[in-house]
Amino acid sequence: MIIIAHRGLIDGPDKLLENTKTQVELALELGYDVEIDVWLQDGKYFLGHDKPTHEVTWPWLTQSNMWIHCKNLPAFFDMRSRTIIHNYFWHEADSVVLTNRNNIWTYFGRPEMASPESICVMPEITYNWNEIPIIVNSGKWMGFCTDFTKRIEACLK
């Protein structure tokens, strides 16, 4: 079971902490995979959900356990041109998307997409917290991407 810290968050939504190097590194140190939003602008990489905000380097992006959500097409095409060992993907409003490693990234759960290759994104939006332990322990998902990694981890039997 993979637990992915959405934008590096572990204890719930926080606009000030999300997609910051410090928060991402904390989540990685705690043993979580991390989904980050990456932009490529003027030959430089940035983290940020709505816009490029925090500059990062290519070597920093190559850390293991990163799931890179390319926020603009230049970032996506740049990732395609490089040898990269972890997942990256690009989408806007798609319900599901395939990552470069053929994992199924499902937007807001999509229970019909559950499979050993699927990541359930933001189960806390699709399900109530009474249902989440059942979903987490169902064996139907490869993993979960959430703002509440500690809470999801506590649901594991």
Tens digit of pLDDT for each residue in 86-104? 899 998 888 899 999 999 9
pLDDT of 108 higher than 80:
no
Question: Residue 84 has what pLDDT?
Answer: 72
Residue 69 gets which letter from DSSP?
Answer: E
In 3-state terms the chain splits into helix, strand, coil percentages (rounded to 5) of 25, 30, 45
Question: Residue 135 has what pLDDT?
Answer: 92
**Residues 58, 80: contact at Cβ < 8 Å?**
no
pLDDT per position as a tens digit, 134-149: 999 999 999 999 999 9
pLDDT of 73 higher than 70:
yes
Please choose, from the candidates 73, 18, 17, the residue with its C-alpha nearest in 3D space to the C-alpha of residue 49: 18
Range of the domain at 80: 2-155
pLDDT bin (cut points 50, 70, 90) of residue 109 is: low
% pLDDT > 90, the chain: 86
Cα(38)–Cα(106) distance, integer angstroms: 19
Instruction: Assign 68 to helix, strand or coil.
Output: strand
User: Number of structural domains, the chain?
Assistant: 1
CATH number of the domain encompassing residue 47: 3.20.20.190
